[in-house]
C-alpha cells in the first residue's frame, strides 16, 4: 500500500502544480532598464553638486597645504616639539569641522538628488506599467531602456 502511495503522491503534486501555477507566457514581466551614469550626467543638480564639491575640496586642500607649510616653517625656526604639536592640533581643529560640514552637505544634497531620481523612475515605471526596473549594466539580455523617459521626468 505504501509503495502505491509513493507513486501516486508525486503525480498528485505535479498535477496540482500544473493547474495552479500560471504559465510563463501569461506571467511574463515587463522589464525596464536605466543607465544610472547617464541619468546623473544629464541631471543639472547632480552636475552642480559635483562642481561645488570639487571646488570645496580644492579650497580645503589649499588650507591643509598652507597649514602644513606653517608647520614646516616652524620646524625650520627650530620650534619645540610641543609648539609643533600645538600647530598640528590647531590645524586639525580648523580643518576637521570644515571637512565634516562639507561631507554632511554633500550627503544631504546627494540624498535629495537620489530621491528625485527615484521618484522619476517610479513615475515612469508606473506610467509605462513596468513590473521591474533594473540597472542596465546588470541586465545581460532584454528589458526596455527607459533612461530617456526618466531624464525627461526629472527636468
What pLDDT does residue 115 have? Answer: 93
Question: What are the structural domains of the chain?
Answer: 2-154 (3.30.910.20)
What pLDDT does residue 143 have? Answer: 92
The SS3 of residue 98 is helix
pLDDT at 11 over 50: no
Nearest to 45 by CA among 116, 150, 123: 116
Q: What is the mean pLDDT of residues 10-31?
A: 52
Nearest to 121 by CA among 51, 40, 44, 49: 40
Confidence of residue 36 (pLDDT cuts 50, 70, 90): very high
Nearest to 102 by CA among 133, 143, 60: 60
Give the dihedral of Cα atoms 84, 86, 91, 97; nearest 10 deg: 160
pLDDT in tens, 38-93: 999 999 999 999 899 899 999 999 999 998 998 889 888 988 889 889 988 998 99
pLDDT in tens, 65-76: 998 998 889 888
Amino acid at each position: 500500500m505504501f509503495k502505491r502511495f509513493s507513486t501516486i503522491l508525486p503525480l498528485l503534486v505535479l498535477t496540482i502544480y500544473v493547474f495552479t501555477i500560471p504559465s510563463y507566457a501569461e506571467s511574463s514581466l515587463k522589464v525596464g532598464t536605466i543607465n544610472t551614469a547617464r541619468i546623473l550626467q544629464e541631471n543639472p543638480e547632480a552636475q552642480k553638486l559635483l562642481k561645488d564639491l570639487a571646488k570645496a575640496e580644492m579650497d580645503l586642500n589649499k588650507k591643509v597645504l598652507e597649514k602644513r607649510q606653517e608647520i614646516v616653517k616652524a620646524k625650520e625656526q627650530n620650534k619645540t616639539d610641543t609648539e609643533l604639536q600645538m600647530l598640528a592640533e590647531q590645524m586639525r581643529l580648523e580643518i576637521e569641522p570644515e571637512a565634516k560640514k562639507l561631507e554632511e552637505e554633500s550627503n544631504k544634497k546627494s540624498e535629495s538628488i537620489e530621491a528625485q531620481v527615484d521618484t522619476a523612475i517610479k513615475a515612469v515605471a508606473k506610467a509605462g506599467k513596468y513590473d521591474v526596473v533594473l540597472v542596465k549594466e546588470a541586465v545581460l539580455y532584454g528589458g526596455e531602456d527607459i533612461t530617456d523617459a526618466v531624464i525627461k521626468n526629472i527636468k
